Amino acid sequence: MSFVYKTQGTCSSQIEFELEGNIVKNVKFHGGCNGNLKGISALVEGMTVEEVQQKLAGITCGFKRTSCPDQLAKAVAKAYNE
């Protein structure tokens, strides 16, 4: 199933991704640091929602209280729980 998550507090504006059960697939960030976000997308491909949360939740970016990886962890958790 496909999802779109509007990010908060980051340079990226939204994240598109798919969940097959609890498996994360086809992550695409809109805006933000292109190369880094392509790297994150490739690294989380095939991970479970739980693995993404465990590895990425709570990561901050500079002085911000969140980051694109943290927003991805929130996005997949929200989608999985809906």
Average pLDDT value for residue range 12-34: 97
Residue 46 tokens, joined: 């095939």
The tens digit of pLDDT for each residue in 47-77 reads: 999 999 999 999 999 999 999 999 999 999 9
The tens digit of pLDDT for each residue in 29-53 reads: 999 999 999 999 999 999 999 999 9
pLDDT at residue number 32? 96
pLDDT at residue number 56? 98
pTM to 2 decimal places: 0.96
- Concatenated DSSP letters of 10-52: SSEEEEEEEEETTEEEEEEEEES-HHHHHHHHHHHTT-BHHHH
